[in-house]
Amino acid sequence: MLYCQQHMLKPCIDSSNLSLSFFRNRLRLELLPLLRQYNPDVDQALLRLAAIAREDSDFIEQQALAMWDKAARQEENAIYLNKRQIATLSPALQSQLLRLAVARVLGDIRDIEANHIEAMRSLLNKPVGKRLSLPHGLICQGGYDEITITDAAKYHQLQLSSCPFPTLEGEFPLKIPGETILPGWQVIATIVPEQSSPVIAALRKKNRKQTQQIDGCYMAELDSGKTGTNLFIRNRQSGDRFQPLGMNTSKKLQEFMIDIKIPLSWRDHIPVVCSSQQIIWVVGYRIDDRVKITEATKEILCLEFIKSS
């Protein structure tokens, strides 16, 4: 107003600027005059505070940008933040990295408030799989090693695209010996005498898991006398238990998957080979200890799961 008086200008007045229904107007018309009664120089004090805050913010942003390549990676429409890297940083740097990630996914950080950033930071200490829904369709989820930030439209597609296991629904009998064709899989089952197995000696000597993975092919060797030949394949079910190789007691399949850090979005896609009595192989991960090859094994059941196009 003073500027207009000095230059003999007649400004246009927007009546909404005088309405106390707007928060900004209440600050300007009610709070600031009250503060000036306590400190006539409050305007200059607030300007100094703003300048200091801007300088601090610029420095923190520079530090965050400098370590971006170590703490973050971007693939398509998602940002992945390394939890271990971020956990060692100050809260200010953690928050700034999250803001940068949001800006790179959404284009800006409009409507992303301090409480949203704090909720995202909390995922560093929350159980794996905890997910936040944020403004503008933003999804933030904590994984075992990373925090994923993406938009909701791409979230489901992103989760499935990272899973190495084709979608498998239903229950399928396994032809033993022979070949079984499933959606996304070709399963080959052979039975060989113990002395014919080319890897049996190495498996015993090295105490390996009696499973292998080579270029999308998952293989396991089991004691045929213990598994039987009446086997079938299905997805996991509620209440599933098995005895992972090396353990002397059974364990919930869900707990096993959590312990070895299988992503939540993968778990329903993993084939499970079963007999009528038990799970014998969680494909790609672990056989049941009760069907492992031992010195007493007479015949070996060799199973190969090959991903098909």
Q: Is the predicted pLDDT of residue 249 greater than 90, yes or no?
A: yes
Residues 196 and 258 in one domain: yes
Residues 291 and 187 in one domain: yes
pLDDT band at 207 (very low <50, low <70, confident <90, very high): very low
pLDDT band at 155 (very low <50, low <70, confident <90, very high): low
Last residue of a domain, one of 130, 161, 192: 161
Which residue from 217, 199, 198 is spatially nearest to 209, judged by alpha carbons? 199
Residues 214 and 259 in one domain: yes
The reply to whether 54 falls in a domain is no
**Contact assessment for residue 288 and residue 256, using Cβ atoms and an 8 Å cutoff:** no
Q: Using CB atoms within 10 A of its CB, is residue 23 exposed (0-12), middle (13-18) or buried (19+)?
A: exposed
Number of domains in the chain: 2
How far are the Cα atoms of 61, 132, 242 from residue 85, in angstroms, in the given order?
A: 17, 21, 35
Q: Is the predicted pLDDT of residue 25 greater than 70, yes or no?
A: yes
Q: Residue 54 belongs to what H/E stretch? A: helix 42-66
DSSP 279-299: EEEETTTEEBGGG---TT--E
Residues 134 and 198 in one domain: no
Last residue of a domain, one of 103, 135, 161: 161
Residues 279 and 208 in one domain: yes
Last residue of a domain, one of 161, 188, 216: 161
The reply to whether 133 falls in a domain is yes
Residues 136 and 188 in one domain: no
**Higher pLDDT pick, 192 / 171:** 171
- The CATH number for 97's domain is 3.30.465.60
Residues 6+ apart with CB under 8 A from 72: 79, 80, 81, 82, 97, 100, 101
Residues 232 and 176 in one domain: yes
The reply to whether 5 falls in a domain is no
pLDDT in tens, 74-88: 887 789 999 999 999
DSSP 165: S
Residues 176 and 82 in one domain: no
Residue-number span of the structural domain to which 225 is assigned: 172-307
Residues 152 and 192 in one domain: no
The reply to whether 49 falls in a domain is no
- pLDDT at site 77: 75
pLDDT in tens, 105-138: 888 888 999 999 999 999 988 877 788 889 988 8
Rg (CA), the chain: 30
Residues 176 and 157 in one domain: no
Residues 181 and 300 in one domain: yes
Residues 214 and 262 in one domain: yes
Stated pTM of the model: 0.61
**Higher pLDDT pick, 20 / 92:** 92
**Contact assessment for residue 254 and residue 270, using Cβ atoms and an 8 Å cutoff:** no
